[in-house]
Structures are given as structure tokens and as C-alpha cells.
Amino acid sequence: MRCLVELICMFFVASWTGVVKYHGPQPSIRPKQVFVSNHTSMIDFIILEQMTAFAVIMQKHPGWVGPLQSTILESAGCIWFNRAEAKDRETVAKNLRDHVQEADNNPLLVFPEGTCVNNHYAVMFKKGAFEPDSSVCPIAIKHIFFFCRCLLEQPKSFTKHLLQLMTSWAVVCDVWYLEPQNMRPGETPIEFAERVRDIISVPAGLKKVPWDGYLKYARPSPKHRERKQQSFAGSVLRCLEEK
């Protein structure tokens, strides 16, 4: 099963003329181990999966991707969630803790940013992957956009995105498997997540920012916008009065 999943992902990467350079030792299957990575594109999972059959925590998708998730990826032990359901967070946290305890399970891969970012920044990491009593293995990914811009831009469908990748010159990126990390005495999960984010940001050349990646799914309330507009107008008026 693991070999089949890896083979399917190899076919996908080959269809994009993928040029992927891996740095560091390939991950091994051990209990109490979680792999975390920065997240630029939906294809990051496929690029990592072709080398190791990871189980991943992933948003449930509609369309033809849904049956693919519920058949091939379900067999790899992936954990699904719905971003709109608050109760799913507790279920995912429990499934994560249970998964890392079993020695025979596929290694678990988490994208703690929770969303795709633009390949230049590293946004805040969610603390869920850093709470279980397990080692955290950082992975850094850096895409080269010169040959292909692999970001899935809305409202483009995933099917059109794959066609774009297949008709581009090449998908070029580097992947670094970094040294496993453990929580230090007195360190909180949030501090642990920030330390791992530092480790990932260095080889990938990412700038750390104090933003929550989920902000792009939310719109500010009208009252908040009105207060900001009034504050900005007041600042302009003060500047004009001073002049």
C-alpha cells in the first residue's frame, strides 16, 4: 500500500516535469513522531508523499478529489477535517494523539500554518502538532517560481491548477529534512512551535510574520472597518492642521 501511494505521487510529479532536490536523510517510521512543514501549495503533500507514504491532516475536498481522498489516501491513515466545523478540531487533536502512539502507522505529516502561503513568508504555526508527547521533525520546502507559479489562486479549480502544472516548463523546488526536535523543560507548545518555525524558515529563506493564516478566510466586520476609516481620517486631518 505504501509503495502504491508513493508510485501514484511519483506519476503526478513526473507529469509536471518535477525537479525536486531533497536534502537530508529520508524519514523513517517510528512511534511518537510528527513531521511538520511550511505550506506553499496543495502539491506540497504530493512532493513529500512520493518519497515517504505520510499520513496527513487534510481538509476534506469536494469534486473528484473527494473520492481520491476516501480511497487511496484513506488507506494511508490520513485524518480529515472540515475547517467550518468547530467540533472537528477536538476530534482531529484526539486522532493525532492516537496516531503517533502506534508504531505501525505511517508517519504523520502536518502543515501547522493551516493554509497555503505565498512562498515568501512563514505565518503563525498552530500548536496542535506540538502538544503530543512526541518528537517533531521539521521539513522546509522552497519553490522556484521562475518556471512555474504553483500557487492555487482562487477561484481557479484544482483541475485547472493541475493542467497548468502539466503544461508548464517544470515544477522546481528544494526540500530539507531537518533535525528532529523535542520540547524543552519549561517550554510551552506555543514556544515550541515558534522555535520549530525558526528552524524551518532559515533554509527555505522565509520571513517570519505574526499573522494567522486563517485571516484570509475571514472578512473584518463593518464596525471594525468604520473605526479604522475614522482613525485614518483623523490622522490625515491632524497632519493637515499641523501643516
| Least confident segment among 51-55, 99-103, 167-171, 197-201 | 99-103
Segment holding 106, helix H or strand E:
none
CA dist 192 and 187 (Å) reads: 6
Give the per-residue pLDDT at 94: 81
Q: Which of 12-21, 72-81, 104-113 is most confident?
A: 12-21
Contact 114, 92 (CB under 8 A): no
Q: Which residues pair with 20 in a beta bridge?
A: 173
Q: What does each C-alpha distance from 178 to 152, 165, 206, 234 come to in angstroms?
A: 26, 28, 15, 49
Q: Is the predicted pLDDT of residue 211 greater than 70, yes or no?
A: yes
Average pLDDT across the chain, whole number: 83
**Is the preceding peptide bond at 220 cis, omega within 30 degrees of 0?**
no
Laid out side by side, the sheet with 108-110 consists of 18-23, 171-177, 135-144, 33-37, 108-110, 55-59, 79-81
8 Å CB contact between 79 and 58: yes
Closest listed residue to residue 140, CA positions, set 180, 176, 115: 176
Q: What is the mean pLDDT of residues 67-81?
A: 72
Q: Is the dihedral of CA 100, 206, 116, 8 positive or negative?
A: negative
Phi/psi of residue 124, each to 5°? -60, 140
Least confident of 38-52, 159-173, 183-197, 228-242: 228-242
How many of the other CB atoms lie within 10 Å of CB of 168? 15
Residue 37 class from Cβ within 10 Å (0-12 exposed, 13-18 middle, 19+ buried)? buried
> Which pLDDT belongs to residue 197?
95
pTM for this entry? 0.81
At 143-159, the pLDDT tens digits run 998 888 887 666 567 78
Tell me the C-alpha distance between 173 and 18, whole Å: 8
- Which residue type does 160 have? K
Rounded distance between C-alpha atoms, residue 181 and residue 134, angstroms: 9
Look up residue 237 and give its amino acid.
L
Domain-wise residue ranges, the chain: 1-218
Q: Across residues 84-111, what is the average pLDDT? A: 78
Show the cell assigned to 160.
485547472
Q: 193: pLDDT confidence band, cut at 50, 70 and 90?
A: very high
Of residues 227 and 192, the one with the higher pLDDT is 192
User: Using 50, 70 and 90 to split pLDDT, how confident is the model at 240?
Assistant: low
Q: Which three cell numbers stand for residue 239?
A: 497632519
pLDDT confidence tier of residue 97, bands split at 50, 70 and 90:
confident
Average pLDDT over residues 175-193: 93
Check pLDDT > 80 for residue 28: no
**pLDDT(161) > 60:** yes
